[in-house]
Amino acid sequence: MKTLIVANWKCNPKTFAEAKQLFNSIKRGIKKIKNVEVVICPPFIYLPQLLKAKSFSLIPKLGAQDCFWQEGAFTGEISAKMLKNLGVNYVIVGHSERRKHFAESDRMINKKLKAALKAKLKSIFCIGEKEKERKAGKTFFALKKQLKKGLKSIKKAFFKNLIIAYEPVWAIGTGKPCEIPDAKEVNLFLKKIFKNIPVLYGGSINSKIAKNYIKEANFDGLLVGGASLKAEEFIKIIKSCSAC
């Protein structure tokens, strides 16, 4: 299995010109990389043009940061099927910023996951405990709850396109990544339940620490936010992981 490095650009950059420049710089920088699958998840509106820009190269792949579970009278939404029809390969579902700022519930995340997996999108299901849950020793309780509710009544046959991303909420965008032993413990816990399903780590990843999560904590890849907006830094992350 190739190491999977996913860039979550969130609501950045401000213009398509900047997005294209960033995308092309990353593409140039990783041309010769073989054993890593790189996925860029830009804002929805940049996807069609970036898909065109990548048509002559299979590196990197493109993903969306969210999806909706159906089409119809749902102003402002974009469905999993629309993304699939556009040629998008991946989608992030249940990111903690969506849970926090847009009140996404486990029930909604479950519907999104079902729709994404049904549309045959590789679906990156984000889970992670809050700081107060970790401090109270409730990390595994919180993770189990998110897993149980998020994956409710999804048939095992759909799991072949499922990817789990462990993103402790307190580690996202804070510059305080989860310590390797703690991250490794969660990874082992997830691998015991989900055999053969890739598990990613996300939360304040930078080029100095990236490879430790692959090499020492045995994650199958990384979900990178802030550091994926700086081409040079993101390329360093990818290269360090390809050398693992």
- By CB under 6 A, which span of 43-51, 79-87, 135-143, 223-231 interacts with ligand PGA? 223-231
Q: According to the binding rule CB under 6 A, does residue 42 interact with ligand PGA? A: no
Q: Closest CB to ligand PGA belongs to which residue?
A: 225
Instruction: Give the one residue of 27, 184, 226, 242 binding ligand PGA; rule: CB under 6 A.
Output: 226
Secondary structure class of 228 (helix, strand, coil): helix
CB of 110 or CB of 228, closer to ligand PGA = 228
Among 225, 234, 237, 241, indicate the residue that binds ligand PGA (CB under 6 A). 225
To ligand PGA, the closest distance from the beta carbon of 156 in angstroms equals 27
Q: What is the distance between the terminal CA atoms of the chain, rounded to a whole angstrom?
A: 13
What does the alpha-carbon distance between residue 106 and residue 125 come to, in Å, rounded to a whole number?
Answer: 11
Pick the closer one to ligand PGA by CB: 198 or 226: 226
Query: Residue 41 in 3-state DSSP?
Result: strand
Binding to ligand PGA in span 159-218, by CB under 6 A: 167, 172-173, 202-205
Say if CB 22 and CB 229 are below 8 A apart. Answer: yes
- Give the closest residue to 5 by CA, choosing from 32, 22, 28, 30: 30
Contact (Cβ atoms closer than 8 angstroms) between residue 177 and residue 215: no
Helix (H) or strand (E) holding 237: helix 231-242
Which one, 129 or 167, has the nearer CB to ligand PGA? 167
Judged by CB, which is closer to ligand PGA: 54, or 98?
A: 98
* Residues labelled as active-site residues: 95, 167
In the complex, minimum distance from the CB of residue 223 to ligand PGA, in angstroms, rounded to a whole number: 4
Two structure tokens written together for 135: 């401090």
In the bound state with ligand PGA, the residue whose beta carbon lies nearer, of 81 and 97, is 97
Residues 94-133 close enough to bind ligand PGA by CB under 6 A: none
CB 149 within 8 A of CB 107: yes
Q: Smallest distance, Å, CB 153 to ligand PGA? A: 27
Q: Which two tokens stand for residue 118?
A: 């049904």
Number of residues engaging ligand PGA in binding (CB under 6 A) = 13
Q: Least separation, in Å, of the C-beta of 85 and ligand PGA? A: 26
CA distance 231 to 24: 9
Which residue's structure tokens are 């999804």?
154
Q: How far apart are CA 9 and CA 129, in angstroms?
A: 22
Contact positions vs ligand PGA (CB under 6 A) = 8, 167, 172-173, 202-205, 223-227
